[in-house]
């Protein structure tokens, strides 16, 4: 029995008690308020049971969530209605132009007057500058066969005479659809374009024989574009040109 109170045993017992109290102060004790361990594979609402109540958590939209008010996923029926309304804004209801545009819309649901006009303006600038530069390759993809042959012949005649064109495209003041038609499956839309150009033609010696290199000229052209709606090719090509002057 005296061995229990041996100085060495008393020293070890005291050391064990000291270590026990140190661990308790560092680790603390369970109170029932501790957060469960974080599980990265569980759903957000399963983390701590309070995920939806945290101020810094923003719920993200998901499939099946109701769309915001006023948004209907652009249903086909709504697209058709919008197409009719847009055409009424471009051409008076009941007019020949209005009826023709709606005929085109009936066979080509992607047709929209405003984007078409923007495309026609871009094509106009490209064609005018390509013709001035004598760039037949660029013209070929934008023109119908007949119109390309006419432009190509004019370029050849100009080169034979040794003439060159200096041209600067200033801009387009106005572009509007003035006529339309659906012939079988071919849609045709005619646009009146008011543009500003600086253009001068020089002969072999560099003398100006036409135009003025220092003057902005107002030009009004009437161009007709067409595409076959029965094909998958969405591109329109220039099929006729006319000067309004």
End-to-end, the C-alpha distance of the chain in Å comes to 130
When comparing pLDDT for 70 and 83, which is higher? 83
Q: What pLDDT is recorded for position 244?
A: 78
Whether the pLDDT of residue 23 is over 50: the answer is no
Q: What's the rounded Cα separation, in Å, for the pair 104 and 238?
A: 17
Residue 39 has a pLDDT of 36
**Measured between alpha carbons, how far is 128 from 155 in angstroms, rounded to an integer?**
12
Say what the pLDDT of residue 19 is.
Answer: 54
What is the structure's pLDDT at 14?
Answer: 62
To 5 degrees, how large is the angle CA 146–CA 151–CA 225? 55
Mean pLDDT in residue range 110-116: 93
Helix axes 76-90, 113-133, angle to 10 degrees: 60
Assigned token pair, 144: 């119908």
Q: Give start and end residues of each alpha helix (H) in 108-135.
A: 113-133
Question: Does residue 46 register a pLDDT over 60?
Answer: no
Quick one: DSSP state of residue 51? G
> For the chain, which domains are there?
77-243 (3.10.450.240)
Give me the numbers of helices (H) and strands (E) for the chain, helices first please.
6, 5
Distance CA 143, CA 141 (A): 6
Separation in Å, CA 98 to CA 113, 180, 189, 206: 11, 9, 12, 49
> Poorest-confidence range of 72-81, 115-124, 216-225?
72-81
The Cα–Cα gap between 60 and 203 comes to 69
Looking at the predicted structure, is the pLDDT value of residue 55 above 70?
Answer: no
């Amino acid at each position: 029995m005296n061995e229990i109170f041996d100085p060495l045993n008393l020293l070890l017992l005291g050391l064990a008690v000291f270590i026990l109290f140190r661990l308790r102060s560092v680790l603390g004790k369970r109170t029932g308020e501790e957060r469960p361990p974080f599980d990265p594979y569980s759903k957000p609402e399963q983390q701590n049971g309070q995920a939806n109540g945290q101020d810094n958590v923003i719920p993200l939209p998901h499939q099946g969530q109701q769309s915001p008010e006023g948004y209907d996923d652009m249903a086909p029926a709504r697209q058709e209605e919008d197409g009719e309304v847009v055409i009424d804004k471009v051409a008076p209801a009941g007019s020949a132009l209005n009826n023709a545009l709606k005929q085109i819309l009936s066979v080509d649901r992607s047709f929209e007057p405003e984007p078409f006009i923007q495309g026609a303006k871009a094509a106009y600038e490209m064609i005018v500058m390509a013709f001035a530069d004598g760039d037949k390759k660029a013209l070929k993809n934008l023109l119908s066969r007949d119109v390309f042959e006419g432009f190509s012949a004019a370029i050849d005649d100009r080169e034979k005479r040794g003439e060159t064109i200096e041209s600067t495209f200033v801009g387009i003041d106005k572009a509007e659809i003035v006529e339309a038609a659906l012939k079988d499956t071919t849609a045709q839309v005619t646009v009146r374009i008011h543009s500003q150009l600086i253009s001068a033609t020089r002969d072999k010696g560099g003398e100006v024989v036409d135009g003025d290199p220092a003057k902005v000229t107002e030009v009004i052209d009437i161009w007709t574009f067409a595409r076959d709606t029965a094909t998958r090719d969405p591109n329109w090509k220039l099929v006729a040109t006319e000067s309004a002057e």
